[in-house]
Chain A
Amino acid sequence: MATVLPGGARPGRWVEFFLLLFALALSFFAYAQVALAVEGRLPARMAWQCGAFTALALTAHITVRWRAPYADPVILPVTVLLNGVGLAMIYRLALRYQEVGANPGYAIAPKQLAWTVLGVAAAVLVVVCLRDHRLLRRFTYTAMLLSLIGLAAPLLPGIGVESGGARIWVRIGGLSIQPAEVSKILLVVFFAGYLVTNRDAMALAGPKIAGLQLPRLRDMGPLLLAWVASLGVLVFERDLGTSLLLFGVFVVMLYVATNRPSWIVIGVGLFAVGVVLAYRVFPHVQHRLEIWLHPFDNNLYTAVGGSGQLVDGLFGLANGGLFGAGWGRGRPDLTPLGYSDFIFTALGEELGLTGAVALLVLYLVLVERGFRTAIGVRDGFGKLLATGLSFTLAFQLFVVTGGVLRVIPLTGLVTPFLAYGGSALLANWVVVALLLRISDGARRPPPATSEIDLSAVAAAEAARG
Chain B
Amino acid sequence: MGELSVSLLRLSYLLVLWLFVIAALATLRRDVYGTTITRRGSGRRPSAGSRRLNRVPPPAELAAAAGLAAAPAPPPVPTRPGAPTKLVVKTGPLKGATLPLTRSPVVIGRSSTANLVLDDEFASGRHAQIVPRLGGWTLEDLGSTNGTFVGRERITGPRELSAGESIKIGNTTLEVLR
Q: Which residue numbers of A lie inside 8 Å of B, CB to CB?
A: 1-10, 12, 15, 19, 22-23, 25-26, 29-30, 33, 36-37, 40, 73-74, 77-78, 81, 134, 196, 200, 323-327, 329, 351-352, 354-355, 358, 361-362, 365, 368-369, 372, 377-380, 382, 441, 445-451, 453-454, 457, 461
- Say whether B27 contacts A73, CB under 8 Å: yes
Chain A residues whose CB sits within 8 angstroms of the CB of B35 once the complex forms: 4-7
CA distance A365 to B14 in the complex (A): 18
Which residues of chain A come closer than 8 Å to B9, judged between CB atoms?
33, 36, 326-327
A-B contacts, 15 of them at CB < 8 A, read A3-B37, A19-B20, A29-B13, A40-B1, A81-B20, A200-B93, A362-B20, A362-B24, A377-B112, A378-B117, A379-B112, A449-B63, A450-B64, A451-B67, A457-B105
Q: Quick one: given A8-B54, A22-B23, are A441 and B112 in contact (CB under 8 Å)?
A: yes
The DSSP consensus for interface residues of chain A is: helix
Asked if A78 contacts B119 (CB within 8 A), the reply is no
Residues of A within 8 Å of B154, CB to CB, are: none
From B10, B23, B104, A323 is in contact (CB under 8 Å) with B10
CB distance from A397 to the nearest CB of B (A): 16
Contacts of B30 in A (CB 8 A): 6-7, 10
Q: Are A445 and B66 in contact (CB under 8 A)?
A: yes
Which residue from chain B places its CB closest to the CB of A199 in the assembled complex? Answer: B93
Task: Please indicate which of the listed interface residues A5, A19, A365, A379 has the most CB atoms of chain B within 10 Å of its own CB.
Answer: A5
**Chain B residues whose CB sits within 8 angstroms of the CB of A382 once the complex forms:** 112
Which residues of chain B from 6 to 42 have any CB-CB distance to chain A below 8 Å in the complex? 6-7, 9-11, 13-14, 16-21, 23-25, 27-28, 30-31, 34-40
A2 touches B24 (CB 8 A): no
> Given A22-B20, A22-B23, A324-B10: A2 and B40 within 8 A (CB)?
yes
Contact (A368, B28) CB under 8 Å given A29-B16, A441-B112: yes
Bound CA span A3–B59, Å: 11
Residue of A nearest to B110 (CB): A379
Task: Answer whether residue B134 sits at the interface, using C-beta atoms and an 8 A cutoff.
Answer: yes
Task: Give Cα distance in the complex from A5 to B30, angstroms.
Answer: 11
Contact partners of A200 in chain B: CB under 8 A:
93
Judge whether B115 is part of the interface by a CB distance below 8 angstroms: yes
Assess the A9–B23 pair: CB atoms within 8 A: no
Give the chain B neighbours of A365 by CB distance below 8 A.
Answer: 21, 24-25, 28
Task: Indicate if the CB atoms of B131 and A19 lie closer than 8 Å.
Answer: no
Given contacts A327-B13, A457-B133, contact A450 B63 (CB under 8 A): yes
Q: Is the CB of B21 within 8 A of A351?
A: no
Q: Which B residues are CB-close (under 8 A) to A377? A: 112
A453 touches B131 (CB 8 A): yes
Query: Within 8 Å CB of B11, what residues of A?
Result: 323
Chain B CB count within 10 A is highest, among A3, A446, A451, for A446
State in angstroms the CA–CA spacing of A9 and B28 once bound together: 14
B62 within 8 A of A: yes
Known: A19-B24, A453-B105. A380 touches B16 (CB 8 A): no
Residue pair A461, B134 in contact (C-beta under 8 Å): yes
Q: CA A324 – CA B6 in complex, angstroms?
A: 12
Chain B residues, CB < 8 A from A10: 30
5 A-B pairs with the lowest CB-CB distances in the bound complex, closest first: A448-B66, A326-B10, A451-B67, A450-B104, A7-B30
Q: Does B107 contact A (CB under 8 A)?
A: yes
**Shortest CB–CB separation between residue B170 and chain A, in angstroms?**
14
**Nearest B residue to A40 by beta-carbon distance?**
B1
